[in-house]
Amino acid sequence: MSAATIVSRVKAILYGHGLGESPTLIQAPAAANETSIGTTVVFDLATAELAKVDAGDVLSVLGAAAATGAHMVYVLSKDSTSVTALASHMGAPAVTADGDLDSAIFEQNPLKSEHLIFQAVETVFATLLYPDIYKYGTYTITPDLSDYQVELNAAVEGIESATQSIGGTFHQIPFGMSKNVSTSVSSTGVLGELFAIDGSSVYITTRERFLEADSISEALTQCVATGAAALMVGASRSSTDLESAKKDSQFRGQRNPANDLWRDFITLRSAIAEDVASEVDWFDVRRG
């Protein structure tokens, strides 16, 4: 599922937990006629929509296909046909060209803008999944017998196995891997070493981080969305396990929506991690 789908799921979680009301929607016409583009931008709204907007309102694009389209503007003033707004608000991608806001649907004063939700989703992928959750990659590589080195994808965190077929029999071969090497050595920063027996193909299995661009399961979509929702409402990332988050809520003497979501995220992450672990015979999950 796409990052845009995850963003929509985050909103469903936030509003479903009663953490805010779904915002009013405002529509731009098919041609928003963006002009005077710079620090500010002037653009049209649909005729019936203009009366709903006032100076001080924040308008956040709804349903952005990617983070680069998650525009968010701050309304400074309006006249009979258009509004003048900051072209970028709170670090959101700026409106830079006529057409950026054509046919846009805006959320008016949303609880959390799509720009901020995209950032939270990126944080979950970058820092909160690995090493608990990862994917396997498989590659067929023609070995370089001059130095036994091969450039690997940037998302690769480790090599699980390397095999060659020699005379119809598969043989495990030694391997090594280095990360954060100079880009003059490997453009991706990841360099593998495959000590091949001969020049025939080497089949490797790698352990890799999930990226936002990856196609992910429904379960992982829900996990990422829950983690992003927890971050959006202020969950403490220092509560790295289920028990500490639970104790924190008990200490406060009341239910904490942020910690509730954080515990949900940890539970989902643990369940998916067990599924990943069950795919290899050398890894065992133990609960002490």
Instruction: Write a three-state SS string for 34-80.
Output: CECCCCEEEEECCHHHHHHCCCCCEEEECCCCCHHHCCEEEEEEECC
Q: What is the pLDDT of residue 239?
A: 54
- b/e code 113-138 from CB counts within 10 Å (16+ = b): bbbbbbbbbeebbeebbbeebbbebe
59-63, 106-110, 253-257: which range is least confident on average? 253-257
Which tops the pLDDT comparison, 15 or 79? 79
Cβ neighbours, 10 Å, residue 105: 13
- Give residue 285's pLDDT band: very low, low, confident or very high (50, 70, 90): very low
Q: What is the CATH number of the domain that holds 64?
A: 2.40.30
Q: What is the pLDDT of residue 74?
A: 98
**Same domain, yes or no, for 144 and 244?**
no
- State which of 208, 228, 262 marks the end of a domain: 208
Q: What is the pLDDT of residue 243?
A: 53
- State which of 182, 208, 234 marks the end of a domain: 208
The token pair at 147 is: 């130095």
Which tops the pLDDT comparison, 115 or 47? 115
The token pair at 64 is: 């952005």
The mean per-residue pLDDT over the stretch 76-104 comes to 96
**Same domain, yes or no, for 128 and 219?**
yes
State percent of the chain over pLDDT 90: 77
Identify the H or E element spanning 165. strand 156-166
Least Cα distance to 270 among 238, 216, 226 occurs for: 226
Mean pLDDT taken over the chain: 89
Q: What is the pLDDT of residue 238?
A: 61
**Same domain, yes or no, for 122 and 150?**
no
Residue 50 pLDDT more than 60? yes
Which tops the pLDDT comparison, 256 or 178? 178
**Same domain, yes or no, for 281 and 234?**
yes
Contact of 234 with 217, CB cutoff 8 Å: no
Residue ranges making up the domain that contains 123: 1-21+111-132+212-288
For the chain, the domain total comes to: 3
Residue 229 pLDDT more than 50? yes
**pTM for the complete prediction?**
0.84
Least Cα distance to 162 among 154, 152, 279 occurs for: 152
